[in-house]
Structure 1
Amino acid sequence: MNTQNENEDQKHDHGGIFGPNTELIFSIISGVLLVTGFVLSLINGFPDGISFLLYIGAYFFGGYFTAKEAIVTVSKGGFEIDFLMLLAAIGAAILGEWAEGALLLFLFSLGHALEHFALNKARKSIAALAEIAPKTAVVRKGNQQKEVPVEKLQVDDIIIIKPNSKISADGVVVKGTSSVNQAPITGESVPVDKRPIEDETIDFQDEKNSPSSENRVFAGTINGSSVLEVKVIKEASDSTLARLIKLVNETEEQKSPTQQFTDRFEKFFVPSVLVLVVVLLFAFLVIDESFSDSFYRAMAVLVAASPCALAISTPSAVLSGVARAARAGVLVKGGSPLEDLGDLTALAFDKTGTLTEGKPKLTEVLPYGNTTSDELLASAFAVEKLSDHPLARAVVAGAEERLGNKKIEEADTLKSVTGRGIKANWMGEEVFIGNKGLFEEELGVSLPTELANILEKVETSGNTAMIVKKSSEFLGIIGLMDTPKKEAKSVISSLKQIGIKRVIMLTGDNQRVANSVASEIGITDAWGGLLPEDKVDAINKLKQQENKVAMVGDGVNDAPAMTKSTVGIAMGAAGSDVALETADIALMADNLTDLPFAIGLSRKSKSIIKQNLWVSLGVTALLIPATIFNFAGIGIAVLIHEGSTLLVVFNALRLLAYDK
């Protein structure tokens, strides 16, 4: 936790001889002494001194923590609500109103203790993150296994993860297959299958090398029913979980727009109240009443105008909202993005890997002339198997799926034509696979009219088209496409239903591909052919057209655009340092369905913040004139004052139960 928060915790230390609930126990003792003293004072003939001593005891136990915090604050040259309450209680004692003074301190300390208890409930949701990682790990050194503290793990250590146990560090699987429950980090409800990485020698300290989700595991997640051996790629202090805890703890420092408003309001309001109290102290000079009556009224106004509920109304809601989001695998960096997210009118998405799978798939197999589909696929498979290009791997995977176990003769002598395609020898003949430019510009061969028409249709539908030719004979066309995620269409529909007017897709792909994907999933605007710097310009343009705009991307190549947007949202941020640092909101899982949840939570948070402001300001607006005109005394004022404070805190805690 940061230094500022540590100082706050030290200042508001509620522990003592009875443990962390000492303040609550002290307030209860104060209440018992107060009630006992009051009851005894009603008994005729009972010595008044006994009730007086009980009231003194109630003052001590009720005012102990109030005085403690007031002294700390005043010693630093400031004052808080505790100082004002202590002043009012001392004033009541000076007037001989010991019962009312004791009641004030009892209710204030009880309210403070309950408020502390309630807010701790939200903080514990966040603090629980720190408890999900195991404290030790089993390290394999040759044939030996040794249990060591996780903080002593080093990069490249091999750790053994037993069935149904927590994973100790961020790493990649090098042996074994299992399903891993990643809910503690990403919020995913379904376990994710893990398998060994093909090349153990890859240096994952290089930012360019990022393991795939099927190979990567995170500290704090839970292994399934099989043993895994995992190569550590991050030290404990730099794990995704550690970074997540650090960033969530920092959110308490980042004030929301509403909180900034209430802070500004308090700067003017509190001095105004103090001026009013001073004026009321001398009311006896103007109106026909005693000094003690004026003094009592001034103390009652001091209690009524103390902005406790106002001060806690927004932070309690923000803390609860952030805690609820973290529990669902959504990292919200403070009150500002939490509030802004609910005001969005437009969402801009990166296409590849955000709205689409990010992996091309074989979608079209269109033979030409007398060629069969199997012949076309076999030739493409044999040649592309020699290439390590992502499109080649997609062709091989798709062909294997469609051809089954059919035996295919291997090709050889692969040669690439940069930006055009490839060629290789297969079954004694040359096979060419590439785009239109390979044949018409490199080879000087015109496409037959019918084949050119097929090519036009394939490309218009958003596919990347590859023409296959063996010797002098065209075999046909195969098409590949980065297909939309299965949940993309329903999520876009949900976003529109909750009031997002424009859903824009920004992509480097050509406009035809952009239009095809957009029409399939329901995007309102598709902007294609954009470089990273063009996406920044696009966000600036959208901000001029719309109220608030969010950019949703992977946090790497989209970082500049995310920075320019009102709210930057990173998808699949688990394990991505850039995404965690860049984004205002990080969806830890690569799951679009978390987006409507996050927006819904933001809107609920804003609603509760508004409710809390109305309650806190409304109670203050009613209590000040009520105490000025003697409709309410110190006892009633503190009862309503503390009641409103507890009301806003418990109202904020409703966010912890927000349904995903």
Structure 2
Amino acid sequence: MEKVKIDLDIVLPKIPDEKDACVERLISSMERQRGIEKAHLVPGKVNNEVQLCFHYYPDKISIERVEQLAKEAGAEITNQYSHLLLNVEGIRHPRHARLLEKKISSMPGLENISVSGNGFIRIEFDLSKTNGEDVIKNIKKNGLRFTNVDEPHGHERVQKNEHGHGGKKEDDQEHTHGGIFGKNTELIFSFICGAMLGGGFGLSFMRDMAPIVPLSFYIAAYFFGGFFTTKEAIEAISKGDFEIDFLMLVAAIGAAILGQWAEGALLLFLFSLGHALEHFAMEKARKSIAALTELAPKTALLKTGGISKEVKIEDLKQGDVIVVKPNTKVSADGIVVKGNGSVNQAPITGESIPADKESIGDTSFDLAKADKLDPKYRVFAGTINGNELLEVKVSKEANDSTLSRLVKMVNEAQTQKSPTQQFTDKFEKYFVPSVLILVVLLCFAFLVIDEPFSKSFYRAMSVLVAASPCALAISTPSAVLSGVARAARAGVLIKGGRPLEDLGTLTAMAFDKTGTLTEGKPKLTKVVPLSNGITEVQLLKIVVAVEALSDHPLAKAIVRDGKAKLDGELIPEAHDLEAVLGKGIKAALGSDEIFAGNLALYDSLDDSKPSEDIINTVRKAEEEGNTSMLIRKNKEYIGMIAVMDTPRPEAKEALLQLKQEGIKKMVMLTGDNQKVAEAIAAQTGITEAWGGLLPEQKVAAIIKLAQQENKVAMVGDGVNDAPAMAKSTVGISMGAAGSDVALETADIALMGDKLNLLPFAIGLSRKARKIIKQNLVISLGVVVLLIPLTISGVATIGPAVIAHEGSTLVVVFNGLRLLAYRDE
């Protein structure tokens, strides 16, 4: 069996990321082909692109045929399926969202739909059965107004100028923001209901007042208080569902039938007020996320021919040069080509200290590889320039910038339901019909006990109010939305409710070493003279002179740090470099021969072997995690130098904070040898170090850890660690700002290249889980308490309504507390 790898973006060029359902369709399609045993995703090696790997039998199918079939299958899927991510106004609360989800899902051709209570709809549809225009029209029929339309892939295109990327259009004017009073219609109707209720109640005490007058006020209160409730109840019933709004409406009608108009109006007033305030609270959380879109300026100063002119950021093209004035926002992702200064990156990465930036000098670099450049050259849209003027070459257009991708992914995250939310949805599905059956039975209680029908009916209506799980429906979405919004504000992208909840349950974390726990670049750590006739400075001059001839990464690190230590000292020139692969180098310095390499270099060189003491010195340095090089001048061993990928400055403190957050086991997974792994572990506080691992062995290590600890997170760069991340409970990528692959491969992306964002994310998740549990206890507790009280007659409709709506508001505002979460 042989393997072939094909870039995913060649086969499926328009998918948003490798987690898209179309990837699974492609893999399933290819695995059904004769001669292909298996297909799966792997990270790329060159440009960090994700690849499809096909295992095939060359005696049954050729490599050319595999590639052809993959492209054909990809083209067929691309032409068949499309996606829409819609931002709409008009969704009042999560229950309304669930109702809309069921209503819209009945449309032919829809493969999948998710509607969130804060105004985002994600739709996947089959282009052979419907099209984008029809989907949009169907959604508009439900009274929703679009604020944007985004389509990640599929050949069907919805014209942006038709659906509101820009200004309002005529057809949008038909859709108001909830009613005649705009966005506040529901709240205003609720206040009118309250006023009518108060007026009717007051007039009922006037002796000479005809009964029809207060009754008229109560009927008006019913109209304004029950307007939206009736609307949603009818929508639900038309789909065969009996939602909470229906239960409330039945209870209010029941009260009216019994002549209890005041209690029925009170029920509708408090229920409509609760809905309106709930909508207001969710809008607050939504605005916290929407504020991300306001980070980027709307215009940029484009430099052409020495003249700067203001243009819209949408008009910027890759390769354009923009001018960023002092104390203004950066308009686009790009590379600094002129000027030095500091940039406040907190809006994107969460870093509290401004990052120093400098001009790259050489402007002929490949923009396609901009994310591989040193962070000191790169800037992001939405960050804030310091006191210096900068000129930036645009590396990404506005709709592909780190900020725009962050906003899009946060929006997508809001459409994903958490495990707790899925549980509450399933619970309600069975609970509401059960309540209706109980209410019907209680209506006939007068047949069993000695009481009039009116009393049995009144009790049944009270139970109906008490048992309605309003608070349960809103308990999880309010907390998840607030948690995702708070994380995004701190530079942490959490892709939905599941990773938010799972992160708080972890007790074990696995870390990649290079670039995650360490800085990812070697540093000169030791310069040890071994001859009485040579000083550290002299040894360093010889080493830097020889290593300067080599372009090996370790040689470059030695030269860079060596020159810094010599601080301007004159360095001699070496010549005639000879490399010994995997062992070291030889060069001439004047009339002397200089050798630099590991112990293996000298084993086969000649009879002049290093002494036992020198060998012990080298091995001791290697046991501390260093890569050591022994230096020989002619026949004399004059010194040793060592380089090492050193731990991040914040690593030890970050891991200590993780331990305090409840992470008991922290394991480092690395391809380096065990001694190097143990040395880094000792410096950082890692509890276990597993060295000498190949990529597939890292996956096996994650599976083993998951068996031991039930749940485990994998922390890496989101590229080479992708297979291990896929097997973990939660995959976490670091330094995701500017890296498309890192943003897309993980469940959680730390935008800044700082480990200390990790304890914050864990703490936020644990707080979110705690609040979700509190909300569940409050919402279910009130229902459990009120049902027996109303059945026994201790509580009537009035107290039931107050407790019912009060608990709904408590869980909403309890969830909003996450917006103010601080890492203590």
TM-score range relative to shorter protein: over 0.9
1:198 & 1:556 partners in 2: Cα distance? Answer: 28
Q: Is 2:350–2:489's contact at 8 Å kept on the other side of the alignment?
A: yes
Task: Check if 1:222 corresponds to 2:384.
Answer: yes
Q: Match for 1:512: what amino acid?
A: K
Partner of 2:742: 579
User: Among residues 230, 251, 266, which one is paired with 1:67 in the alignment?
Assistant: 230
CA contact (8 A) 2:418 2:496 kept: yes
Alignment of 1:26-45 (within 5 A): 26-45=189-208
CA distance in 2, matches of 1:528, 1:349: 12
Structure-1 separation of matches of 2:654 and 2:205: 68
Q: Distance in 1 between matches of 2:118 and 2:705?
A: 41
Alignment pair present for 1:144 and 2:324: no
The answer on whether the counterparts of 1:440 and 1:447 sit within 8 Å (CA) in structure 2 is no
1:521: which partner in 2? 684
User: Per-residue deviation at 1:195?
Assistant: 0.9
* Structure number with higher helix proportion: 1
1:324 aligns with 2:407: no
Aligned equivalents of 1:444, 1:85: Cα separation in 2: 96
CA contact (8 A) 2:242 2:433 kept: no
- The range that moved more, 58-67 or 196-205, is 196-205
Q: Distance in 2 between matches of 1:546 and 1:631?
A: 48
Of residues 214, 233, 236, the one that matches 2:398 is: 236
The whole-number CA distance in structure 2 between the counterparts of 1:480 and 1:210 is: 23
In the TM superposition, 1:299-310 aligns within 5 A as 299-310=461-472
State the Cα distance separating 1:93 from its structure 2 match.
2.1
| Alpha-carbon separation, structure 2, partners of 1:83 and 1:231 | 58
- Aligned residue in 1 for 2:671: 508
CA contact 2:118–2:283 (8 Å) conserved in 1? no
User: Is 2:485 the counterpart of 1:485?
Assistant: no
* Higher mean C-alpha displacement, 10-19 vs 487-496: 10-19
CA distance, structure 2, for counterparts of residue 274 and residue 16 of structure 1: 31
- Please point out which of 748, 758, 769 is paired with 1:595: 758
Task: Tell me the residue number matched to 2:85.
Answer: 2
Q: Is the 8 A contact 2:413 2:496 kept in 1?
A: yes
- Secondary structure at the residue paired with 1:366? strand
Q: Are the equivalent residues in 1 in contact too, given 2:117–2:477 (CA < 8 A)?
A: no
Structure 2 residue ranges without an equivalent (≥5): 1-83, 87-113, 120-141, 145-175
Instruction: Check 1:242–1:160 CA distance in 2 against 1; reply closer, same or farther (3 A cut).
Output: same
1:291-321, Cα deviation, whole Å (9 max, x unpaired): 3333322222221111111111111111111
Query: Which residue in 1 is equivalent to 2:704?
Result: 541
TM-score normalized by the length of structure 2: 0.77
Q: Which stretch shows the higher mean deviation, 319-328 or 404-413? A: 404-413
| Kept in 2: contact 1:11–1:72 (CA 8 A) | no
Letter aligned with residue 263 of structure 2: E
Describe the SS at the equivalent of 1:78.
coil
The aligned runs of 1:113-128 (5 Å cut-off) are 113-128=276-291
Worse-superposed segment, 441-450 or 114-123: 441-450
Answer with 319-328 or 67-76: which moved more.
67-76
CA distance 1:514–1:118, change in 2 (3 Å) = same
Q: Distance in 2 between matches of 1:98 and 1:414?
A: 99
The equivalent residue for 1:419 is 582
Partner Cα distance (1:442, 1:276) in 2: 92
Classify the secondary structure of the residue corresponding to 1:589: coil
Q: Which moved more, 1:553-562 or 1:298-307?
A: 298-307
Aligned-pair distance for 1:144? 2.8
Q: Distance in 1 between matches of 2:577 and 2:182?
A: 74
Asked if residue 250 in structure 1 is aligned to residue 448 in structure 2, the reply is no
Deviation at 1:643, TM superposition (A): 0.4
Q: Secondary structure of 2:329's partner?
A: coil
Matched residue, 2:779: 616
**Amino acid in the other structure paired with 1:494:** Q
Judge conservation of contact 1:331–1:588 (CA < 8 Å) in 2: yes
Contact 1:14 1:23 in 2 (8 A): no
One-letter amino acid matched to 1:119: M
In structure 1, distance between residues paired with 2:195 and 2:463: 27
Q: How far off is 1:252 after superposition?
A: 2.2
Give, in whole Å, the separation in 2 of the partners of 1:105 and 1:414: 88
1:14 is displaced (CA, Å) by 6.0
Note closer, same or farther for the CA distance 1:8–1:534 as it changes in structure 2 (3 Å cut): same
Q: Which moved more, 1:33-42 or 1:575-584?
A: 575-584
Is residue 558 from structure 1 mapped to residue 558 from structure 2 by the alignment?
A: no
Query: By how many angstroms is 1:202 displaced?
Result: 2.5
Are 2:196 and 2:220, in contact at CA under 8 Å, matched by a contact in 1?
Answer: yes
In the alignment, structure 1 residue 183 sits paired with structure 2 residue 266 = no
Give the 5 Å matches for 1:262-411: 262-369=424-531, 370-411=533-574
Say whether 1:50 aligns with 2:180: no
TM-score (structure 1 length as normaliser): 0.96
Distance 2:492 2:540 in 1: 43
Which residue among 176, 179, 182 is the counterpart of 1:16?
Answer: 179
User: Which deviates further from its counterpart, 261-270 or 635-644?
Assistant: 261-270
What is the CA distance between 1:589 and its match in structure 2?
0.9
Q: Deviations over 1:350-381 (max 9, x none)?
A: 11111111111111001121221111100111
Deviations 1:37-74 (A, max 9, x none): 10111121122222122112212221222223233333
Q: Which amino acid letter does the alignment assign opposite residue 297 of structure 1?
A: R
SS at 1:214 equivalent:
helix
Verify: 1:461 aligned to 2:624, yes or no: yes
Greater mean alpha carbon deviation, residues 381-390 or residues 65-74: 65-74
| SS of equivalent to 2:604 | helix
DSSP 3-state at the match of 1:32: helix
The 1:140/1:167 distance shift into structure 2, 3 A limit, reads: same
Q: Which residue pairs with 2:256 in the alignment?
A: 93
1:10-55 alpha-carbon deviations (Å, 9 max, x no partner): 6688633333222112211211111111011112112222212211
Q: CA deviation at 1:224?
A: 0.8
Alignment-derived partner of residue 357 in structure 2:
194
CA distance in 2, matches of 1:507, 1:325: 29
Q: Distance in 1 between matches of 2:357 and 2:207?
A: 80
How far the C-alpha of 1:612 sits from its partner, in A, is 0.9
SS in 1 for 2:798: helix
Alignment-mate amino acid for residue 290 of structure 1 = P
Give a deviation string over 1:540-578, Cα, whole Å, max 9, x none: 111111121111111111111111111111111111222
Shift in Å, 1:206: 4.6
CA distance in 2, matches of 1:98, 1:139: 67
Higher relative contact order (CA 8 A, sep 6+): 1
Q: Residue 204 of structure 1 contacts residue 211 of structure 1 at CA under 8 Å; is this kept in 2?
A: no
Please say if residues 384 and 395 of structure 1, whose CA atoms lie closer than 8 Å, have aligned partners that are also in contact.
yes
Cα distance in 2, alignment partners of residues 619 and 402 from structure 1: 70
Aligned partners of 1:196, 1:309: CA distance in 2, in Å? 55
Is the 1:509–1:530 Cα contact (8 Å) retained in structure 2?
yes
Alpha-carbon separation, structure 1, partners of 2:607 and 2:733: 46
Of the three residues 732, 752, 755, the one matched with 1:569 is 732
Q: Give the secondary-structure state (helix, strand or coil) at the position aligned to 1:556.
A: coil
In structure 2, what residue type is equivalent to 1:351? K
Instruction: Tell me the amino acid that sits aligned with residue 237 of structure 2.
Output: V
2:490 partner letter: A
Q: Distance in 2 between matches of 1:25 and 1:443?
A: 94
Provide the secondary structure at the position in 2 that maps to 1:627: helix
Which runs of 5 or more residues in structure 1 are unaligned? Answer: none
Q: Say which SS state the counterpart of residue 419 (structure 1) adopts.
A: coil
Q: Displacement of 1:445 after TM fit?
A: 4.8
Say whether the 8 Å CA contact 1:31–1:106 is kept in structure 2. yes
For residues 329-353 of structure 1, the C-alpha deviation after alignment (integer angstroms, 9 at most, x for no partner) is 1111112111111211111111111
Offset, 1:525: 0.5
Which amino acid in structure 1 is aligned with residue 481 of structure 2?
L
Amino acid at match of 2:708: Q
Alignment RMSD (CA, Å): 2.0
Query: Post-superposition shift, 1:7?
Result: 9.2
Once the two structures are overlaid, the 10-residue window that deviates more, 560-569 or 485-494, is 485-494
